[in-house]
């Protein structure tokens, strides 16, 4: 599966998230589960992955990590120093297989707020949403599959938005 390709938004994204949220919530009833990332913003194209943020009480973080692994999520260590990052490829009615990313955070973590505020900002500001989409398209071309280059391409624009929103980057 190619990870750094541009995919137009599809109206199935909220449904795919809801189905996975239901599966996760059944085993993590104490968790808050939120749809974040490009697939959570109607009309915003991106990599076509379903990004999920999960917030749990700090004392439950390792138990939640074990639960996610029992659901065949794979932990990718070192991607983020601030929280656990996991992924899984699940069957998909549109493209056969779709990647799901999970960001597992302890309650009160600043990254939780950043995910939600940025998503909500993009939902409320169509011009910024279009700008971000263009930056993502350019990033895919420039990165040629390299995730570091892709993230670096978006970094300056994101830092400016986070600064406006008073979100630590």
The span from the CA of 10 to the CA of 126, in Å, is: 17
pLDDT attached to residue 169:
61
Among 119, 133, 115, 102, smallest CA distance to 23 is for: 102
- Within 30-146, where are the H helices? 61-70, 110-124, 126-143
- Domains, the chain, with CATH or none: 13-164 (3.30.460.10)
Task: Report yes or no: 36 and 49 within 8 Å, Cβ to Cβ.
Answer: no
pTM exceeds 0.95: no
Does residue 91 or residue 78 have the better pLDDT? Answer: 91
Q: Is residue 79 scored above 70 in pLDDT? A: no
Q: Give the pLDDT confidence score for residue 166 in this predicted structure.
A: 82
The model's pLDDT over 3-56, given as tens digits with 9 standing for 90+, comes to 678 999 999 999 999 999 999 999 999 999 999 999 999 999 998 999 999 999
What lies within 8 Å, CB to CB, of 68 at 6+ separation is 24, 54, 75, 86, 102, 104
pLDDT, position 143: 86
pLDDT tens-place string over residues 104-138: 999 999 899 999 999 999 999 999 999 999 999 99
């Amino acid at each position: 599966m190619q990870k750094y390709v541009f995919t137009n938004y599809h109206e199935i994204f909220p449904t795919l998230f809801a189905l996975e949220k239901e599966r996760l919530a059944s085993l993590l009833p104490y968790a808050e589960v939120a749809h974040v990332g490009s697939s959570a913003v109607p009309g915003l194209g991106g990599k076509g992955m379903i990004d999920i943020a999960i917030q749990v009480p700090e004392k439950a973080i390792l138990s939640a990590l074990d639960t996610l692994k029992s659901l065949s999520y794979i932990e990718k260590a070192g991607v983020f120093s601030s929280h656990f990052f996991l992924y899984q490829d699940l069957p998909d009615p549109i493209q056969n297989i779709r990647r799901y990313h999970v960001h597992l955070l302890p309650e009160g973590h600043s990254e939780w707020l950043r995910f939600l505020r940025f998503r909500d900002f993009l939902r409320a500001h169509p011009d910024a949403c279009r700008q971000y989409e263009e930056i993502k398209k350019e990033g895919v071309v420039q990165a040629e599959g390299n995730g570091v280059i892709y993230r670096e391409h978006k970094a300056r624009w994101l830092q400016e938005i986070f600064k406006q929103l008073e979100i630590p980057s």
